[in-house]
Structures are given as structure tokens and as C-alpha cells.
Structure 1
Amino acid sequence: MEIHLIRHTAVDNPENLCYGFADIPLKENYQDDFKRILTDQDFDLVVSSPSLRCRLLADHFNSDYKTDERLREMNFGNWELKKWSDIPEEEINPWYNDFVNIKANGGENLREMQTRVHSFWYELTLKKNINKVLIITHAGVIRLMLQAVLQFPLENMFTIQIDYGKKVIMSLNDGLFSIKSINV
């Protein structure tokens, strides 16, 4: 199975808002960004995050796709759409010190996100008769899929750069993964 993971294109976030679950618009020229993404057309399965910034890209590919809630970015709860600088230090500092276990009020921590993303990932890898998959999602989700394969500590998750509108391509053959490319 060949698995193509694409991160949505750049968002319009001049105020540096915290966002994950919240729908935030893509940059004004997002259609131009879409045209620069080269991808195949012959996927057996296309799955998108239900976030609008991902569904717009799935629509652009004219794909018959499904959405899956497990492909959403991290839920930042009460922090969603607040400026990072406006989140009180007594709330944000514990998270900065331990983003794996600490969460925003009403949100989720990285371990909880990992559980839902890995649930999707393992379900996908067990599918039979699928040769090629396209997943349109977010940087955090893609990092957690790489973490599922490479088994690196969650604390190291943000050492992997996942660019807007770029792909990670992996293959799964006989139970073994191969990472073919990152940020193409």
C-alpha cells in the first residue's frame, strides 16, 4: 500500500491565533497554492479531515472522499481562536513544559490525540485490496502517523517539519514501512 499524506495549504492567521479544531480560513490565494500541489489521480481511497481547510483541498482534487474525525488537528479547547499571547501564563506555561500530558481546558493533550490518530492509522494499515491512499490532514496528525511508524518519543514530535501543501509518501509492504519522501 502506498500512502500519501498531504497537509492543507497555508492559513490566514495574521494575529497568530491558536487553532486546531477551529475552522480558520486559508490564505486568500489558496486556489493558487492548490495548483502547485502535484498528486496522482488514481487513489483507491481518499480520506480528509473534516476541517474546512482540508475539505477544500479534497474538493479541489475532485475526489470522491470520506471524512474522518480522527484526522482533525489537536483540540485546544478554550484556547481555540485566542491569540497565543492572550492565553494566561498560568494556563500556557504548564502546557509549554509538558505538551504531551497537559491540555487546555476543554481540549485534549497529545496522548489523547495520539490515541485517536493511531486508531485511524492502525485501521488503515489493516485494510486489504487497497493499493494507494490519499489522506488530507494537518501537520500534527501527519507527525503522529510518522510517530506510529518510527516509534520516536512524543516529546520529539515537533522536530519534524511538515510544510503547508506538501506531501509525505510512505509505503507498507509485508508489514514493513518505507518512508519515501517528506515535504515534496
Structure 2
Amino acid sequence: MEIHLIRHTAVENPENLCYGFAEMPLKKDYSEDFKQLNLDKDFDLVISSPAQRCCLLADYFKFDYKTDERLREMNFGNWELVKWTDIPEEEINPWYKDFISVKAPGGENLLEMQARVLSFWNELLTEENADKVLIIAHAGVIRLILQTVLQFPLENMFSIQMGYGKRTIVKIEKGLFSIKSVNV
């Protein structure tokens, strides 16, 4: 099985708002970004995060796709659509110190997000009728999948830069994983 993981293209966020679960629009000229993507059409299965910023990409390429809630970005709860600089220090500083187990009020922590993403991933790996899969998702989701495949410490997750509109390809053969490309 070959799994292509692509991050949605760049968003319109001039105020540097915190967003994950919240809908954040793509850049106004997003179709120009789409035209730069080199995606073939021969996927056996295409699954997208239900976020509009991901579904627009699937729609543009006219993929027959389904959505899965487990592919959403982190839920930042009460911080969603708040400027990062306006989040109270007494709330955000503990998160900065321990982003793995501390969560935004009303949100989820990284361990909870990891559990839902891995639930999706483990289910996908049992798929028998898909040799080539496309997953349209978010940086956090893709990082968690790479963290699982490469088995590096969770606290190093943000060391991997995931570019907007960039694709990472994971190949699974006889139960062994290989990374064919990252951020192409």
C-alpha cells in the first residue's frame, strides 16, 4: 500500500489566529495554489478531513472521496479563532511547557488527538482493496502519522515542517514502512 498524505494549501490568516477545528478560509487565490499541485488521479481511495480547507482540494481535483472526522486538526477549544497573542498567559504558558498533555480550555490535548488519528490510521492499514490512497489533512495529523511510522518521541513532532500543499508518501510492504518522500 502506498499512502499519500497532503496538507491543505495556505490559509488566509493575517491576524495570526489560533485555529485547528475551526474553519479557516484558504488564501483568496487558492485555485492558483491548486494549479501548482502535481496530483495524479489513480487513487483507489481518497479520504479528507471534513474541514472546508481540505474538501476544497478534493473537489478541485474531482476526486470521489469520503471524509473522516478523525482527520481534523487539533481542537483548540476556547482558543479557536483567537489571536495567539490574546490567549491569556496563565492558559497558554502551561501548554507551551507541556503541549502533549495540557489542553486549551474546551479543547483536546495532543495525546487525545493522537488517539483519534491512530484509530483512523490503524483502520486504514487493514484496508484490503486500496493499493494507493490519498489522505487530505492537516500538518498535525500528518506529523502524528509520521511520528507513529518513524517512532520518534512525541515531543519532537513539531521538528518536522509540513508545508502547505506539500505531499508525504508512506509505503507499506509486508508489514514494513518506508518513507518515499516528505514535503514534495
Which residue of the partner structure matches residue 23 of structure 2? 23
CA-to-partner distance for each residue in 1:149-169, whole Å, 9 max, x for gaps? 111111000000110000001
Which residue of the partner structure matches residue 118 of structure 2? 118
State the distance in 2 between where 1:4 and 1:107 align: 28
SS at 1:18's partner residue? coil
Which residue of the partner structure matches residue 166 of structure 2? 166
Which residue of the partner structure matches residue 56 of structure 1? 56
Deviation at 1:61, TM superposition (A): 1.1
Percent of pairs with identical residues: 73
Deviation at 1:129, TM superposition (A): 2.5
CA-to-partner distance for each residue in 1:25-60, whole Å, 9 max, x for gaps? 100110000010101101110000000000000101
- In structure 1, stretches of 5+ residues that fail to align are none
SS at 1:3's partner residue? strand
* CA-based RMSD: 0.5
Which residue of the partner structure matches residue 2 of structure 2? 2
Question: TM-score scaled to structure 1, two decimals?
Answer: 0.99
One-letter code aligned to 1:105:
P
Which residue of the partner structure matches residue 128 of structure 2? 128
Which residue of the partner structure matches residue 181 of structure 1? 181
One-letter code aligned to 1:15:
E
CA-to-partner distance for each residue in 1:84-142, whole Å, 9 max, x for gaps? 00000000000000000000011000000000000100110111121100000000000
State the distance in 2 between where 1:83 and 1:143 align: 23
Which residue of the partner structure matches residue 75 of structure 1? 75
Which residue of the partner structure matches residue 107 of structure 2? 107
One-letter code aligned to 2:50:
P
State the distance in 2 between where 1:34 and 1:129 align: 28
Question: TM-score scaled to structure 2, two decimals?
Answer: 0.99
SS at 1:15's partner residue? coil
SS at 2:4's partner residue? strand
